[in-house]
Structure 1
């Protein structure tokens, strides 16, 4: 690699939810408030922008022809070739206050996904579990739920409330992806910025996008900060592993909430970057419909 670089000139107000489909080599991500799904064959494919009828923030592969979208009204099935959307499970669909936010597929095929208030009001969000047609509420009363990811063996889940900046760790059933214990503090962040989206690599290291600090931080399995990888945008949102062997990383960012002087000082805010870092990543499995 020859340095961190933008993968497209498109700028997202709130870039989020990057997902890589290794079967097709395609990266998907969202501009949440812009109601857009973005698609790009990696590394050199053309950018395709899909307009959505609602806010959406995450995508999981179902099979070669279908995807699951996490939206402000619940879980939708999307046909890859036509873009047709069909409601699968309504979740907070009648709650106009909230939208979807972070999500990731557990190694057992369960999807953890979250909601939060559009105005970020305190305690309006939650984290849910989905598998084989069933939805369960896991953690209510969260303000900005983020950092959902899992250890490679599926026995540990992580999440955070960015409002509190406590990265939590909880024992997990490796088959069902359901919690098997009580949450414990994994890392308490007290420095610049806030904990945002995360992903765990093949060795169990956790990579966290630090909103407001322009970096992706790496944590060991015992909650120690290992290193920081700089990103040329302050409001970094979520990382994902890409490439045929998951050896590279893409991270999204946002300009949402910035004043004009702040945007002028941060000209790449909202861009999506291929980081100048070699990783030993892994891919999320398909979600179990």
Structure 2
């Protein structure tokens, strides 16, 4: 993989390829910044933690912050609150998030200091924000099967990725089951994305890699990254065959730490799904 952007993010996260703009959006959660890079590079500074987004239309994002979900206007930088998100809880912030095939947006929260079980995972869909799962320490790996019948998520602290069935509207049905147990390998599952064939690609914090697993949970292969704290992958580029990976510099003295990387994925990703507000 090569450097896509040299900015050393304290906690790079939330990469999202905007298919209509041909731009990658990503975040430095601890730096309270959002970046975009395509033909040009831009960044926005906020007064609270921001962590993830989905695209609504060419000029609009749904952006997650510590206090809410916001309609963000890309050309002007203006934002308008869509719904509060744990705004009455000063000890938590948003973390991993992604749009699902049905047009909903899933967003996880966690404690500012990764307090045990302080976080949760929510879904925003057609005007409703609903809590799906609670007692989450570090919410991560939110991603979806291409046909919209299965969602994945994890609590990094548990070292397990869960899978849960979805109904036709994209709401979970039944109880989550363990899809991938990484405890035996000592691996820390962070952000994840699913390709067009249904394989899950998981950034593994501290392991300098993004690892691929089949829909049955079998290891496929790993893509090495130049920084150890890989945090989240995203597919993008004109044909969806480029893999972007954010990383984190926090707690490290590492030359490449916190930079955002890209390279050939060796597979084709799903087009990022549009959020329906």
Q: Do both proteins adopt the same fold according to a TM-score greater than 0.5, normalized to the shorter chain?
A: yes
Give the corresponding residue for 1:185: 178
Matches within 5 A, 1:267-286: 267-286=255-274
Matches within 5 A, 1:1-289: 4-41=1-38, 45-173=39-167, 175-190=168-183, 191-258=185-252, 263=253, 266-289=254-277
Cα contact 2:159–2:187 (8 A) shared by 1: no
Any idea what SS the aligned residue of 1:163 has?
A: helix
Once residues 172 and 257 of structure 1 are traced to their aligned partners in structure 2, the CA distance between those partners, rounded to angstroms, is 38
Once residues 34 and 276 of structure 1 are traced to their aligned partners in structure 2, the CA distance between those partners, rounded to angstroms, is 28
- Residue 14 of structure 1 and its aligned partner are, at CA, apart by 0.3
The Cα offsets for residues 157-213 of structure 1, whole Å up to 9 and x where unpaired, read as: 00010000111011111x321101110011100224300000000000000000000
- Residue 275 of structure 1 and its aligned partner are, at CA, apart by 2.5
Once residues 238 and 142 of structure 2 are traced to their aligned partners in structure 1, the CA distance between those partners, rounded to angstroms, is 23
Q: Where does structure 1 lack aligned partners over 5 or more consecutive residues?
A: none
The Cα offsets for residues 7-66 of structure 1, whole Å up to 9 and x where unpaired, read as: 12211000000001111101000000101000100xxx3321111121110011111222
Once residues 8 and 197 of structure 1 are traced to their aligned partners in structure 2, the CA distance between those partners, rounded to angstroms, is 19
Hey, which of these two has a bigger chunk of strand by percent?
2
Any idea what SS the aligned residue of 2:204 has?
A: strand
The Cα offsets for residues 86-136 of structure 1, whole Å up to 9 and x where unpaired, read as: 111001012110000011111000111110001001000000011111010
Cα contact 2:241–2:264 (8 A) shared by 1: no
Once residues 230 and 29 of structure 2 are traced to their aligned partners in structure 1, the CA distance between those partners, rounded to angstroms, is 14
Cα contact 1:152–1:203 (8 A) shared by 2: yes
- Residue 276 of structure 1 and its aligned partner are, at CA, apart by 4.0
Cα contact 2:149–2:165 (8 A) shared by 1: yes
Once residues 269 and 275 of structure 1 are traced to their aligned partners in structure 2, the CA distance between those partners, rounded to angstroms, is 17
Return 112-121 or 183-192, whichever deviates more. Answer: 183-192
Return 210-219 or 175-184, whichever deviates more. Answer: 175-184
Any idea what SS the aligned residue of 1:282 has?
A: coil
- Residue 70 of structure 1 and its aligned partner are, at CA, apart by 0.6
How many residues in Structure 1 have an aligned counterpart in Structure 2? 276
CA-based RMSD of the aligned residues comes to 1.0
Cα contact 2:97–2:108 (8 A) shared by 1: yes
Cα contact 2:166–2:173 (8 A) shared by 1: yes
Return 279-288 or 152-161, whichever deviates more. Answer: 279-288
